[in-house]
A and B are shown apart, each in its own frame.
Chain A
Amino acid sequence: MGLGYLVKRLLTMIPVFLAVVTLVFFTIRFAPGGPFDGERKLPPEIKANLDKKYNLDLPLWKQYLLYMRDLSRFDLGPSYKHSNRSVNDIIGEAFPVSLELGLWSLFWALLIGVTAGGLAAFRPNSLFDYIPMSISILGICLPTFVIGPLSILVFGLWLGWLPVAGWDTPADRILPSMTLGFAYAAYISRLTRGGLMEIRTQDFIRTARAKGLKESTIILKHSLRGGMLPVVSFLGPALAGLLSGALVTETIFNIPGLGRFFIQSALNRDYTVVMGTALLYFTLIFVSNFLVDIFYVILDPRVRYE
């Protein structure tokens, strides 16, 4: 895999990005209702004035051209809902928060997930396998909307160890990041175990074992590399999802992150914010999937990209 591939791959991002902009721009307009519709129906004149103010009265293709013009200047436009803030302002304020939460969660997820999965694969069908895997199943069927309130109740209210909600002190980071991390850890541990079990039986591992290498060395040095492929594939989109904000966790812990805007903006028909968040998410997906593909090569040198 040479530099040529890297450059080529990055260049493909441009047409794909344009495809995303266009696709999202036009599809979201098919949804019923607009940004200014509310319970009290606006008199048609006032509605017309509002549409005019935001250029929503123009034909859609003209709006699209205007949007593309602004986008080429990295201007994502004004928010229709939060009228004194631009989409750039909103992302600038909220994205760092989600990024921090995401990185903390990723840390927990990998730490817990890989450790548990590794332990399980190391001694399959033993207590080391059953206990972590059972916990991981619990983690999967108790989603964040259960774990979140439950952990607030236990650690925030009953034990009083940690704050119930908010995003000020370092202590505020613990519960939400562990809640979110736990959900991902559950997936990662199962994928790790599955991947390792797969690779354990392959020839080069058998050779290593035959050479009398310690089982732990085999796991760490040899198995982890090949066995992590499914985990790495999963991590690509998961990373983008984690970093761009987790709606449920952010809402439950009242964290001012970007995740809330993904759904809020869609429900508010705040078109520009929807576009902004979708484009950000796409960029994250693209970059993390790119990293994943590079990781394939690192993990398995035989993989080649033309």
Chain B
Amino acid sequence: MHTIQVLKAFYRSSIQTDIEYRVDFFTRILASLVGLLTTVGALSIAFNYTGNLAGWTFPQTLVLLSIYYLMDGLIEMFIAPNMRAVMEQVRQGTLDFVLLKPISAQFMASFRTINIWRIVNVMVGLGLSLYTIGRLSLTVGMSQALAFGLTLLCGVAIVYSFWLCLVTLTFWFVKIDNIEQIVWQAFEAGRYPVEIYPVWLRGALTYVIPVAFIITVPARALAGRLPGTYLLIAPVVALASLLLSSAFWRFGLRHYTGASA
């Protein structure tokens, strides 16, 4: 209960700050739509010549694209701004003040701010998925909806854990914005089904930078072509990554000695 109140206060204050920068909202909308049109255009040119890409039909790849936008929006809205703040705090030595607060350091580091204008990508993702489901006349049955909800939740947990591990690395390396760049480069590949990539890359996108679990698996669930075993694998991977990343974070904190002075 107390946690929820703290969270509300955190988010309220950062939304109030963001509201001051309204132009950012329109820049975001433009950026989202241009990116979306480019990818949809690219897909429709390729589908001029073929009926499927590695087993995915055109509408199914659009479902996948919508999940990409949803996840990208969620990361940039909730996860990335906090993790970038931690990196900055480690560099400047101000993380000490965060650690002194009478609240879980991981909670504080993960949920301090929110970047509200990034909600644009979340909305683009939701809109696109509703539109394609309508056009696909995909009848999303109860079981499919549940499978989608479950795998999406797992995806969010996995992506959160992944970023937590990433940010924990700053305790040793201090400057890791380059690593963040690499992660975004891999994430960019998630606009398309991982099945189109060569086997080694598919492996890397599943187990090293888990783009497959974050985007492809929920998209397959929504499109109704997810092998049942994944309903077991995804929660196990999600739970394991939550526990491991949290342990890694605590391990990293023990090594943190403060950067300034």
A and B are partners in one complex rather than unrelated chains: no
Which B residues are closer than 8 A to A by beta carbons? none
Interface set of A (CB-CB < 8 Å, partner B): none
